[in-house]
Amino acid sequence: MAERANRTTPLWGWNNNGLPLATAAEAPLRRLSRSLPVVLPLFVLAVLVVYPVAGLVGSSFFDDKGLTIGNYTQLLSPRFFKIMINTVTLGFGSAFVATAAGTIFAWLCVCTDLPFKRVFTILHIAPYGLPTIAAALAWIFLLTPKAGLFNRFLMWLFGLQSAPFNILTMPGMIWALAAHLYPWAFLLTSAAFATMDRSLEDAARMSGADQFKTFRKITIPLVAPSIAAAFMLVFTISIEQFSIGGTIGVLARIPILPVEIYRSIAVYPPDWGFATTLSVVLLLITSLLIYGQNKILAGKSFVTVTGKETMERTTLGKWRWVAFAISSLFVSIAVLLPYIGMIMVSLSPSLGADLTLSNFTFKHYVYIFTEHPFVFRAIGNSLFLAISAATLLALFTLAAAVVVKRSQIPGRGLLGYLTRWPIAIPGSVIAVSLLYTYIRPPLQLIGTIWILLLAYLIRNLPYAYSAAYAGLSRVDPALEEAARIHSTPPGRTFFRIIVPLTIPSVMAGWVIVFINALRELPASLLLFSSGNETISVAIYEMFEEGAFQLTNAAALMTLLSLVTILPAIIIKLRSRESGH
Amino acid sequence: MAHVELRKLRKLYGKTVAVDGVDLDIGKGEFMTFLGPSGCGKTTTLRMIAGLIEPTEGEISVGGKLLSSPGTKVVPPEKRNMGMVFQSYAVWPHMTVFENVAFPLRNLKKSKEEIGKRVRAALELVKLDGLEDRYPSNLSGGQQQRVALARAMAIEPDILLFDEPLSNLDAKLREEMRFELKEIQRRIGVTSIYVTHDQAEAMAISDRIAVMSHGQIKQIGKPREIYDSPEDPFTAEFIGLANFFPGKATSEKTVCLAGREELEIDGCRELNMGADVILSIRPHNIKIYKEVNKTRNELQGIVAKGAYLGDKVDYRVRVGDSILRIQTPPGEVFTEGTKVCLHLPAEKISVISAARA
């Protein structure tokens, strides 16, 4: 490997026509054409990503009269203070609960003899397959104080006088988010537990430490970086997500950053100054979190020589069935209940009606396709957007990965960095940036479907890229070198050698982008226009229209989840097993 | 009484038999090696002695104390007072060298001075003094393995266990470490059990070797015995190179081969007349001549292939229907197709068990 890394000539492409390597004396034109594989995508990213976001940050320092810091003085208001407190509380709380749950269940599923652990593994990943907007509305169906299905069930079961839970509170929001996001922590820490050399624990046992001390002194410190990274990841997703804050948060009157960004623009009269300022603040926080997470994972020096796989694991003994009971209870409530609630509501005659075997109905499914003004159109739009975004990104990111990983062209590092950068840009911030950039000629894309496509492309760039990069990492460069030795042109090498060999990973990336795009909400809400609605916009509009539409929303959510759940679980399970 | 006693030890994983009835006595201070290919059950046996795996059946006792027996509570690994060195070193990356070696001593609640003294002594023994404050990520593989060794020895264990400790090291370092390990073991005189698939390593380091295959011990003996007189085809083939040929015993000291030639043998085993046997001889023990010497144990053959290897020549010689492999020092070179005469010295032929149907 070291030998490959030290190579200074490009491994394939761009100079295999027998020309000498680049020298200082070389004609500038040829030098430019040689670096085109880096310059061209850099240019594309500069226009698509850097320009709008830089424009947004810049515009936050202007108002109608010119340069100002007036927008930022609004941040001193009690309203902003309240928003920040809410956002951080929600992020911290849900990250804490999700990371704790994710870590414990990952340990149980990877390291112990928990019964049925393969089933549990799938169930722990399953929330990932439920669109966040569906999870949010499902918890509203289940746990509102009066009408909540689960509340009423518990009151009946235990003969309670009042509802035990209220989702329309900060703890309620924390729970809804944590139950939805703990799969991320589960997957990250599973990977850490699975790759940890088990003889490190054996060595502790042989050194006189019992099982509990080994867990405390060896296991936990070794996976600590991954736990910290998981915490920061869930924190990031929690504070940039819109679906829970835009539904439960709105009903509970708990404003959070991304929702306030949306409302500053969507509620008349729009307050652009406040929207851009909030966007910059949110961008700053998520950037810091992502930076911190990368630092932790990169500085993880606990890479160990992996010994051989041993068959025996931590035996739980008499705790085995206790762990089983706890896992079952948690999975039933956090994972299965939202699905059950959503499906039950979609089959009920009306919201709040008791569902019985005799009164269930498919009328809401019929309604959304026959009577609703734009659901049919929205499905078409969503599919078009998801397929286009996934396909364009698969091609672009694979080519970018090849340039970054295999070429020696200067600037490739920047290309890799820019491709990963949007992971730190929340959906609502992307939307505000695009609104700012493409509202006037020459690129007046607002009001067309292309602005949505652009938002999806930017948002999903990092996911597609990391899939392509992972796929390429598993291809021996010698396979490309062999093609080069046999005088294969670069384009042919790309399509005949690299694409076929990386197709499994690239397909996985395609599916992830497809799912993400199908259920994207925050950017879509700000960028859609009449005729260009998407499925998740349709669901959110139904929510805003009021209770009478919620049964129809449940029907649409059920259909959407049916499409996303299986691919989501399969992709995540696969990536967990291949360990990336 | 032997220091370590294994009685009818068995381990099943579902229906797969990993260890199939191992009986073994290991003396105090002895260096015993389990040698065999991967999957032969050697590591599983070692881990059962360590307490990291619970046996399905059988008993383990050390120093007369029963550690594991069906129906009784198995003594957990942390209570067995053993030290173990792992293939992957298993040096804890979040602790310094000092902390790594001190960890087992702290578990024994030793005083601070005693811990300091013992850690220094252990590190000195493995020649790592001065590196106490380093983290393992700043050490080479060889140094990490020395830390692991120091850690295993620091508590003065009753038994030291080695699970292929050298196989992650490069070839040159591996050979150096062999002698060092042996030297350290001799100096502290601790009973040691060592697992490896490398026969040269086993030969160099062990007092006795237990050759294992398919979960069973095939032969136990001193390195020389195992090499010179293998008692079973697996041992003969696994350790060094060997030629095998079937025959029928015609007397207590003679065997008739398929081609009717009669060979005299001078092994320790007496043969039963008429029994089917398998004979084995190592390639370097066969002498090859151009001319017929008319001595006993001579076979005629034709050179099928020859390869010059620098320090020796490797021949395949056709004798009747079978091919024998012969290695001789490079002297006279025989080209392919040459008629040659082979001498199989009686004392170099091993009789390894009756042929199995």
Q: Do domains A35-68+375-532 and A77-303+313-351 have the same CATH topology?
A: yes
At A464-508, the pLDDT tens digits run: 999 999 889 888 888 888 887 888 888 888 888 888 889 988 998
Looking at the fold, whether B105 and B41 belong to one and the same domain comes out as yes
Nearest to A207 among B88, B107, B163 (CB): B107
Angle between helices A499-518 and A547-578 (to 10 degrees): 160
Best residue in B38, B47, B52 for a mutation probing chain A (most A CBs within 10 Å): B52
Q: What is the dihedral of CA A117, A121, A124, A126, to 10 degrees?
A: -130
Same domain (yes/no): B199, B245: no
Q: Give me the half-sphere count of Cα atoms (radius 13 Å) on the Cβ side of residue A221.
A: 13
Which range marks the domain in which residue B18 is found?
A: 4-235
Work out whether strand B208-213 and strand B31-35 pair parallel, antiparallel, or are unpaired.
parallel
How far apart are the CA of B264 and the nearest CA of chain A, in angstroms? 47
Q: Which residue intervals of A35-131 are DSSP H helices?
A: 36-45, 51-59, 70-73, 78-111, 117-125
> Which CATH number is B288's domain given?
2.40.50.140
Give DSSP secondary structure letters for B27-85.
-TT-EEEEE--TTSSHHHHHHHHHTSS--SEEEEEETTEEEE-TTSPPPPGGGS-EEEE
Choose one of B207, B235, B263: the last residue of a domain: B235
Q: Specify whether B116 is located in the same domain as B229.
A: yes
- DSSP one-letter string for A272-308: HHHHHHHHHHHHHHHHHHHHHHHHHHHT---------
Q: For residue A331, what pLDDT is reported? A: 96
Single residue among B185, B215, B235 that ends a domain in this structure: B235
Residues B158 and B231 both lie in one domain: yes
Tally of domains in chain B = 2
Pair B121, B171 in one domain: yes
- Domain positions in chain A are 35-68+375-532, 77-303+313-351
pLDDT band of residue A580 (cuts 50, 70, 90) is very low
Please indicate, yes or no, whether residues B17 and B134 belong to a single structural domain of this protein.
Answer: yes
**Same domain membership, residue B247 and residue B132:** no
Whether residues B230 and B245 fall in one domain: no
> Are B208 and B278 in a shared domain?
no
Q: Do B231 and B245 lie in a common domain?
A: no
State the best of B40, B45, B107 to mutate against chain A, taking most chain A CBs within 10 Å: B107
In this predicted structure, which of A180-184, A283-287, A290-294, B272-276 has the lowest mean pLDDT? B272-276
Query: What mean pLDDT is reported for chain A?
Result: 86
| Pair B141, B277 in one domain | no
Q: Tell me which H or E stretch contains A574.
A: helix A547-578
Whether CATH 1.10.10.200 fits A77-303+313-351: no
Question: How close A112 comes to chain B (CA, Å)?
Answer: 14
Q: Which residues contact A415 (CB under 8 A, 6 or more apart)?
A: A38, A41, A42, A45, A400, A403, A404
- A-chain residues near B52 (CB < 8 A): 202, 205-206, 312
User: So what CATH class is A35-68+375-532?
Assistant: mainly alpha
Confidence of residue A578 (pLDDT cuts 50, 70, 90): low
User: pLDDT tens per residue, chain B (357 residues)?
Assistant: 468 999 999 999 888 999 999 999 999 999 999 999 988 999 999 999 999 888 999 999 998 889 988 878 889 999 999 999 998 889 998 899 999 999 999 999 999 999 999 999 999 999 998 999 999 988 998 999 999 999 999 989 999 999 999 988 888 888 888 888 999 998 889 999 999 999 889 999 999 999 999 999 999 999 998 988 888 888 888 888 888 888 888 887 888 887 777 888 876 667 777 788 888 898 999 999 888 777 788 888 899 998 888 888 999 999 888 889 999 988 778 889 889 999 998 888 888 765 443
For residue B308, give how far its alpha carbon lies from the nearest alpha carbon of chain A (Å). Answer: 33
Cα distance between residue A70 and residue A76, in whole Å: 11
Question: pLDDT grade, residue A9 (50/70/90)?
Answer: very low
Distance from CA of A114 to the nearest CA of B (A): 17
Query: pLDDT tens digit string along A28-48?
Result: 777 777 788 888 999 999 988
Note whether B196 and B254 are same-domain residues: no
Of B50, B33, B51, nearest in space to B42 by CA: B33
To the question of pTM greater than 0.90 for the whole model, the response is: no
Residue A404 has pLDDT above 50, yes or no: yes
Residue that wins the pLDDT comparison between A168 and A146:
A168
Query: Of all helices (H) and strands (E), which one includes residue A152?
Result: helix A149-158
Interface probe, candidates B13, B54, B88, B167, chain A, greatest A C-beta count within 10 A? B88
Please tell me whether the interface predicted TM-score (ipTM) of this complex is above 0.85: no
Instruction: Give the domain CATH number at B201.
Output: 3.40.50.300
